[in-house]
Structure 1
């Protein structure tokens, strides 16, 4: 079985669970940015827990199905069409051979996930089929005319998922980071309830926040290891939340770490969306 990419949209990549354990060689984890949405798509389509899925960014993707396949689209709400017929978002769909599947632009959120029964069958790089957009380790970004093999399904599809309605206001909970002592007195307390907007240059590497300046002492640190969700504070005083494709090391102080349960939300925040930080 195979599918052809007719239009990849602005940025579509392949993502699985990522490649943890290579940071000591300078290789990022990568993997689906909205892990919950990707996992749901796999379950709905009848895929395995580590199947590679397609992650789209804002603009969707158009695929041509060469043989009948079961698929599911989750994540950012969007219009899904098989030919001219609109079909359900968040449900397993059996698509006939020769069909054109259109995953439209995100109506809210940023990233949609397309899972196919059997998963996308590409050769792993360092144990993962995820695309790292910082170092471009793994499969290249999807391109028009590219043909992707689909593996053999392992189980039956699941019933449709409940619709997830996200609040307009995002709340990110922070735990103190290893360099909290680089903050000036009272700066950590001032972060509790502080409001920011998502900056336009946010991507899979980091969620950049624009708003109140967080006061920190002057100077630089030697490069040190970074973890998923680390909140780094550059001299501008504007926080950056490291996401799946973050560099393994950095020289700015990590003053906090976002709770793991809140990281999927970061994947769906658009430039200009409001974000409230909580430290309590």
Structure 2
């Protein structure tokens, strides 16, 4: 099990999400930076789909009453505590009763902790993910939360011993033209991509809110609510774009000018308030 002593600013249990329920109004949720959760799971010999802990801006303290194999990936935090060899991108053994303590990352926002066997909270609609929008899944972690861990006896041996540490990713999000670019004036997509945007402090797992140039609208008003995907760049009446992340609503009524390429969603997930980011148009293939 894992005992949460301090969760940091915000921490939740996340796996790869609850897919297939958008028609019922249920968001997918799941790890905002799925690539980092997958990596952390691989490092401890877990299937990539297992649940871990998504830690926002570090500053967490976790105790392991029974000892466990652990790995960390994503935003690089200084690691301390009673686990010899603890660090980012490497599996390490946390002895019985020892702690893992995280500092603040020099870049990025979200760090993922995987434990061999996976966090075993009760699944809801096939996923153990916390959904900050709908409230499905376990509540956000708080001091005193105790998380069960599944047995690891049937897992494959740990074969990975080190993952190269990622550096800061270029703050560029590649985008495809959105399904409602006709709601915008000619050249609006070019305006979106012409100058950097600054990440607003109101950003969260629902979306990255940006400040910068306002793409000019050709049509005013709102659309009838329609389906939304992760990475949709929606422009509300304020004119300031929002990049939808894992906990975005399954439908929305503001026009989508562009959609972030799936490969760049981890970059969006690691943006933090005050960062700057640019968009770059890529052609349909």
- What range is the shorter-chain TM-score in? over 0.9
Displacement of 1:88 after TM fit? 1.9
Displacement of 1:189 after TM fit? 2.6
Find the partner of 1:278 among 273, 276, 280. 280
Unaligned 5+ residue runs, structure 2?
none
Task: Trace 1:101-112 onto structure 2 (pairs within 5 A).
Answer: 101-112=100-111
Displacement of 1:56 after TM fit? 0.5
Task: Trace 1:194-273 onto structure 2 (pairs within 5 A).
Answer: 194-216=195-217, 217-273=219-275
Task: Trace 1:1-280 onto structure 2 (pairs within 5 A).
Answer: 2-83=1-82, 87-153=86-152, 154-157=155-158, 158-167=160-169, 169-216=170-217, 217-280=219-282
Q: Kindly indicate whether the alpha-carbon contact (under 8 Å) linking 2:83 and 2:93 is maintained by their aligned counterparts in 1.
A: no
Moved over 4 A (4+): none
Q: Kindly indicate whether the alpha-carbon contact (under 8 Å) linking 1:194 and 1:278 is maintained by their aligned counterparts in 2.
A: no
Once the two structures are overlaid, the 10-residue window that deviates more, 177-186 or 187-196, is 187-196
Once the two structures are overlaid, the 10-residue window that deviates more, 265-274 or 189-198, is 189-198
Q: Kindly indicate whether the alpha-carbon contact (under 8 Å) linking 1:60 and 1:103 is maintained by their aligned counterparts in 2.
A: yes
Displacement of 1:161 after TM fit? 0.6
Q: Deviations over 1:43-75 (max 9, x none)?
A: 111212211000001133211111121001111
Q: Kindly indicate whether the alpha-carbon contact (under 8 Å) linking 2:5 and 2:61 is maintained by their aligned counterparts in 1.
A: yes
Q: Kindly indicate whether the alpha-carbon contact (under 8 Å) linking 2:6 and 2:62 is maintained by their aligned counterparts in 1.
A: yes
Q: Deviations over 1:13-56 (max 9, x none)?
A: 00001001111111110001111111110011121221100000
Displacement of 1:86 after TM fit? 7.1
Displacement of 1:85 after TM fit? 6.4
For the residue of structure 1 that corresponds to 2:198, the secondary structure is strand
Displacement of 1:106 after TM fit? 2.2
Matches of 2:85 and 2:91 in 1, distance apart? Answer: 14
Matches of 2:124 and 2:65 in 1, distance apart? Answer: 26
CA RMSD of aligned residues (A): 1.4
Q: Normalising by structure 1, report the TM-score.
A: 0.95
Matches of 2:56 and 2:91 in 1, distance apart? Answer: 21
For the residue of structure 2 that corresponds to 1:152, the secondary structure is coil
For the residue of structure 2 that corresponds to 1:189, the secondary structure is helix
Displacement of 1:279 after TM fit? 1.4
Q: Kindly indicate whether the alpha-carbon contact (under 8 Å) linking 2:73 and 2:113 is maintained by their aligned counterparts in 1.
A: yes
Matches of 2:136 and 2:236 in 1, distance apart? Answer: 26
Q: Deviations over 1:129-172 (max 9, x none)?
A: 000001111111112111111112212222111011124x4111
Q: Kindly indicate whether the alpha-carbon contact (under 8 Å) linking 1:192 and 1:277 is maintained by their aligned counterparts in 2.
A: yes
Displacement of 1:83 after TM fit? 2.8
Q: Kindly indicate whether the alpha-carbon contact (under 8 Å) linking 2:223 and 2:255 is maintained by their aligned counterparts in 1.
A: yes
Q: Normalising by structure 2, report the TM-score.
A: 0.94
Unaligned 5+ residue runs, structure 1?
none
**Alignment coverage as a number of residue pairs:** 278
For the residue of structure 2 that corresponds to 1:87, the secondary structure is coil
